Amino acid sequence: MPRKGYTGITVPIGLKDRLKGAASAYKYRSVPNMLESWLSERTGTVRVRKGPNNLPLTNDGGVSFHARIGQPRENTQDILWCGRRDSNPGRLRGRRDAGSPDRVRLDPRMLGEFRAFLEVERQLAPRTVYSHVRYIGKLVEGTDEAGLEEIRGFMRGHMGGSVSGYSNALKAVRVFFRDFLGRGDLVEGFRFPATPFKPRVVPGREDLRAFYDEIPTVEGRLYFLLYATSGLRRREGLSLRPGDVDEDKRMVTPSKGLGGTKSTWVTFYNREMEELLEGYTPKPGRRWIPIKTDDFRDVWRIPKEKTGISITPQVLRDWFCVAMGEAGVQDRYVDAFCGRLPKTILAKHYTDYSPSRLRRIYKRSRLKILA
């Protein structure tokens, strides 16, 4: 039997996956409309009792639903548990405890719907979805209901660590309670910690050359030059496909996948990298420069062990900004190369940031590392 406040949906086994996908999106005006329209087209008549405001009617006055399709009992099974709070048919919700209005009932089965909510409705990147679900999974495992005290205790457990760790936990908690459950009142008092400012020290060209000489593979050296001469973020460089690069113009256009939150535009790599590419035969793979995960880690680990110099893709991105500034490139163009310009600025001043203009500015910088 479904737990109190939840109702099952009984559907043919063959419709299991498609119904889950439709239920996570809920593009219909109400749940009954979605069930009757979507299921009737595929299986025949569906009856859903409606209550006030065109919402499914239940005996306890909650907002949930139960649909039985006209199929033999042996061909049906309960596949989805869900509940709805108040009269909002927009998303699956955990119901507020009628006896304690300041608390929310939790269940591990909510995590699947929370994941679908993050992927479909919020369209977050897979890495962000994984992080949010992991944090909320820890919260749900520790209690079957939550109020302000439970949330406060959960966040207290992340104090004393890194600022980013606390911030990531709070991001997940806010999205879960405020956006998914519609209980923003439980998390509105929590604030993100102030991030301390630390001046970044970038290495000189001599350190870059010494580090470069110790990189063991051609692919590793290509990635080193790519990050140092283009200003790309680490994941942008690793996600490049052959279609994202115009080797004749040395132009790179990083793609922004579903869920991406960072701005992107166009950038370029220098003549030194072009010369290294001329003698390079790429291995089969989807990436522009195929490389295994362990080999990519070795690009930064092995030279550090041999030279004592710590360099990462982020350090090279910082070095690129400093080097372009020293070459006389204006900050706004450096921001364009690094993908830090909002779309509104690009749309309003496109001629100032067109790829052809940026290419001329990049060439004038005469950026070099090895010479």
pTM: 0.61
pLDDT of 213: 96
Q: Are residues 35 and 75 in the same domain?
A: yes
Q: Are residues 299 and 209 in the same domain?
A: yes
What's the rounded mean pLDDT across residues 188-217? 89
Q: Are residues 180 and 258 in the same domain?
A: no
pLDDT of 249: 94
Residue 34 has pLDDT above 70, yes or no: no
Q: Among 55, 70, 95, identify where a domain stops.
A: 95
Q: Among 191, 225, 242, identify where a domain stops.
A: 191
Q: Are residues 7 and 117 in the same domain?
A: no
Q: Residue 197 domain-assigned?
A: no
Q: Are residues 288 and 306 in the same domain?
A: yes
pLDDT 10s digits, 102-124: 788 888 888 999 999 999 998 88
Local confidence band at 187 (pLDDT 50, 70, 90 cut-offs): very high
pLDDT of 248: 94
Residues 6+ positions from 132 with CB-CB distance below 8 Å? 114, 118, 124, 171, 172, 175, 176
Q: What is the CATH number of the domain that holds 115?
A: 1.10.150.130
The CA distance from 234 to 223, in Å, is 9
Residues 6+ positions from 233 with CB-CB distance below 8 Å? 262, 313, 314, 317, 339
Residue 162: domain span: 100-191
Q: Are residues 221 and 146 in the same domain?
A: no
| 259 dihedral zone (left: phi>0; alpha: psi -120 to 50; beta) | left
3-state helix, strand, coil in the chain (%, to 5): 50, 10, 40
Q: What is the CATH number of the domain that holds 288?
A: 1.10.443.10
Distances, alpha carbon 3 to alpha carbons 7, 28, 31, in Å: 8, 26, 20
Q: How many domains does the chain have?
A: 3
Q: Among 47, 64, 95, identify where a domain stops.
A: 95
Q: Residue 199 domain-assigned?
A: no
Residue 36 has pLDDT above 50, yes or no: yes
- pLDDT over 90 percentage in the chain: 48
Q: Are residues 114 and 250 in the same domain?
A: no
Mean pLDDT, the chain, rounded, equals: 76
Residue holding tokens 């405020």? 178
Q: Residue 51 domain-assigned?
A: yes
pLDDT 10s digits, 51-62: 444 444 333 333
Q: Are residues 217 and 352 in the same domain?
A: yes
pLDDT of 58: 38
Local confidence band at 2 (pLDDT 50, 70, 90 cut-offs): very low
Judged by DSSP in three states, 267 sits in strand
Q: Are residues 69 and 123 in the same domain?
A: no
What's the rounded mean pLDDT across residues 243-264? 77
Q: Are residues 75 and 209 in the same domain?
A: no
Which tokens belong to 31?
């749940």
Residue 100 has pLDDT above 70, yes or no: no
Q: Residue 198 domain-assigned?
A: no
